[in-house]
Amino acid sequence: MTTLLAIDIGNTNVSFGVFDYAAGDASAGELAQHWRIGTHREQTSDEVALTMTGLFAQAGRSVSEVTDVIIASVVPPLLPIFERVSTKLFDRPPLVVGPGIRTGMPVRYENPREVGADRIVNAVAAYEMFGGPVIAVDFGTATTFDCVSAQGEYLGGVIFPGIHTSMEALFERASMLHRVELARPKSVIGKTTTGALQSGLLYGFAGLVDSMVERIRSELGEARVVATGGLAHRIGGESQAIETVEPFLTLEGLRIIFEKNRPPSDGSRKERTA
């Protein structure tokens, strides 16, 4: 059996997904385990290896089960750390999402190297799962919109500050305001500072998403909208534009790209093919 470890290194969190493939079936792995930990740029490869070993053990599994690794990273200093961990812990270099990797998706960006690996991964997953045109909205450190044409081309998108990023900037600069839970307030018109903040954050971002999707659709056409990221469920419940929430969209995209780059004659990729 093949076991794939997919790693998405983001600015705020690192997500892991373990996909199990049935013996003799290389078509689609099943997400068996998933974890999310905070991103720490100062971590050493030994610390990362210890953390990963602990996560597997907690789930009653062993790192020795892993036969393949794929990584997408938007934190350049951490990529070599995780590459070393893959070599030391799993005895193989990982497949890294970057220039030259097969995604099956033409990138119509002026400079394709500027596009974050996570954005391409989300676009690939959204198109594979829902067809096109499609808009993938990711609520992370930044809130991103990635647009795919009906022909499966990555067209570009939109980037603006994420919800937590905006919250932290506001609380840092406004000494009279305090941190609040992103929860649905009793009313849109806040009767307390907490209620007013919650209304602005929840309904404000939902309205922003709806307005942006409307503008994108005026250029792209009647595209489907899929959301992912830690706060996707919260915003998705208030947004009129978001049709589907896929919490593991990025991990599924990594699986799909792994399968596109896997040698067809080998059940376990032994060499890096990026």
* Catalytic residue numbers, as ranges: 118
CA dist., res. 187 & res. 120, Å (int): 38
Taking alpha carbons only, the member of 265, 229, 235, 259 closest to residue 247 is 229
CB 212 within 8 A of CB 121: no
C-alpha separations of 118 from 14, 108, 162, 166 in Å: 12, 16, 15, 21
CB 38 within 8 A of CB 18: no
Sign of CA dihedral 96, 83, 246, 179: negative
3-state SS assignment for residue 189:
coil
